[in-house]
């Protein structure tokens, strides 16, 4: 029972974690997704620094579908991604919308 309470407490406090704390708590699959987002940002930065306008036009939006059964950490991953977006894209980012299968959405 104590482990279940720990998990419940972790989900309550997810939004209070720093980027480093959240990233350290990701599992292998979550880290893979998180890494793709970081790679996208690095790719965008590289293209933005290039002098050729044609290369900058090659920047494509990142679209991902994250799924899994209950308890696999989707919400935790989304909260970690929100923190990442706030740290590396915000405030110059456009609108980012995150939809969930519970019909709930939040703007990052």
State how many domains the chain has: 1
- Tens digit of pLDDT for each residue in 19-33? 888 888 999 999 999
Q: Which domain holds residue 94?
A: 2-107
**Around Cβ 65, how many Cβ atoms within 10 Å?**
5
- Tens digit of pLDDT for each residue in 35-90? 998 888 888 777 777 666 656 666 777 888 888 888 888 888 888 888 888 787 66
Classify burial at 98, counting beta carbons within 10 Å of its beta carbon; exposed 0-12, middle 13-18, buried 19 or more.
Answer: middle
pTM of the model: 0.62
């Amino acid at each position: 029972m104590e482990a279940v309470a720990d998990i419940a407490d972790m989900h309550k406090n997810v939004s209070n974690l720093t980027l480093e704390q959240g990233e350290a708590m990701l599992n292998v699959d979550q880290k893979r997704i998180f890494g793709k987002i970081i790679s996208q940002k690095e790719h965008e930065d590289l293209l933005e620094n290039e002098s050729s306008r044609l290369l900058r036009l090659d920047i494509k939006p990142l679209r991902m579908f994250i799924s899994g059964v209950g308890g696999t950490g989707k919400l935790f991953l989304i909260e970690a991604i929100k923190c990442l977006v706030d740290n590396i894209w915000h405030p110059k980012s456009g609108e980012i919308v995150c939809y969930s299968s519970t019909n709930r959405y939040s703007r990052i």
